[in-house]
Amino acid sequence: MNTLVLQTQKVSLFYGERQALFDISLDVPKHSVVALIGPSGCGKTSYLRLFNRMNDLISNTSVTGGVYFHDQNIYAKSVDVVKLRRKIGMVFQKTNPFPKSMFDNVAYGPRAHGVFYKNKLQEIVERSLKQAALWDEVKDHLYESALTLSGGQQQRLCIARTLAVEPEVILMDEPASALDPISTQKIEELILQLKQKYTIVIVTHNLQQAARISDYTAFFYLGEMIECEKTEVMFTNPKMKRTQDYVTGRFG
């Protein structure tokens, strides 16, 4: 068995009085892809955002239970959120490149962490774009605005931007939900490649996508995790009736 990178133990999340997540325990092994599936509003995105403490940005949230990154509770007082987010990157549902050049977008993270040598930055940008399978398409106009790219390219740029920080874990919040089938396919191929070096937790609405790319699948429903299994087991022989109903399309 691989070592665990991320782990939650009986974690609950509250938005003010309202409880959004109930006692969720989940292990994420190294170099695996874990897909979080479930109907809208089931808490899978909220759960994903626990890992890089993005929920902190919403006022009045509180977390109970433990969220661990290499056995370190990331909600402990001594944890530096900025350092944590360098280790655990995130790709968002809505593509959100900065209104800057492609180069500046990818170089943003390294610059924020004090890399200023032009050569070093160029090297990072090239490497990251290659990893994100975007280099060949953009290498001749790196200094044009990132907003000139297509939606699918923008999302791969956002992935490159995340990779440039060299995180250990990449959290993906429905990264392909706003993209056309071809772009989606590219992103999926990319995820399978990235798995070699990174650990990935991905929220997806698309069950086929979860089946295609993930090693483990967790099914969320109304703020609870109903079941988490190896993906092939989940889609062929789930233990819980509700999971079966969902993965066979009886509700959702």
Partner 1 sequence: MAAQFLSQLKFKFARESSPDVFLESSIRGKQGWDKIWEKCLALISLFSVSIVFSIILFLVIEALPILSKVGFKELFFSDRWQPTSEVAGFGMLPLILGSIWVTVGALVLTVPLGIGCAIYLSEVAPIRMSLMLKPAIELLSAIPSVVYGFFGLVVVVPLAEKFFHLPVGQSIMVGSFILAIMALPTIISISEDALKSVPKSFREASLALGATRWHTISRVVVPAAFSGIATSVILGMGRAVGETMAVLMVTGNAAVIPHSFLEPVRTLTATIAAEMGETAQGGLHYQSLFLIGVLLLIITMILNGIASFIVQRVHQKNAV
Question: 3-class SS at 91?
Answer: strand
Give the separation between CA 165 and CA 128, rounded to whole angstroms: 9
**Residue in the block written with tokens 């500046």:** 104
Q: In what order do the strands lie in the sheet with 18-29?
A: 18-29, 4-15, 61-69, 72-73
Number of residues that bind partner 1 (CB under 8 A): 28
Q: Scanning residues 161 to 220, which ones bind partner 1 (CB under 8 A)?
A: 161-162, 165
Residue 76 or 112 with smaller CB distance to partner 1: 112
Question: 3-class SS at 133?
Answer: coil
* Least distance (Å) between residue 79 CB and partner 1: 13
Among 85, 127, 195, 205, binds partner 1 (CB under 8 A): 85
Among 48, 129, 134, 158, binds partner 1 (CB under 8 A): 158
Name the burial class of residue 160, with classes exposed (0-12), middle (13-18) and buried (19+) by CB atoms within 10 angstroms of its CB.
buried
Residue 59 or 237 with smaller CB distance to partner 1: 59
Per rule CB under 8 A, is residue 108 in the interface with partner 1? yes
Among 86, 127, 195, 242, binds partner 1 (CB under 8 A): 86
Give the separation between CA 82 and CA 52, rounded to whole angstroms: 9
Instruction: Quote the DSSP letter at residue 3.
Output: P
Per rule CB under 8 A, is residue 141 in the interface with partner 1? no
CB 209 within 8 A of CB 192: no
* Least distance (Å) between residue 100 CB and partner 1: 8
Take residue 151 and report the two structure tokens written for it.
């939606």
Q: Scanning residues 52 to 71, which ones bind partner 1 (CB under 8 A)?
A: 52, 54, 57, 59
Phi, psi angles (nearest 5°) of residue 236? -110, -35
Per rule CB under 8 A, is residue 236 in the interface with partner 1? no
Among 113, 139, 141, 250, binds partner 1 (CB under 8 A): 113
Per rule CB under 8 A, is residue 96 in the interface with partner 1? yes
Residues facing residue 37 across a β-bridge: 219
Per rule CB under 8 A, is residue 156 in the interface with partner 1? no
Binding region for partner 1 (CB under 8 A): 52, 54, 57, 59, 82-86, 89-90, 92, 94, 96-100, 108-109, 111-113, 147, 158, 161-162, 165
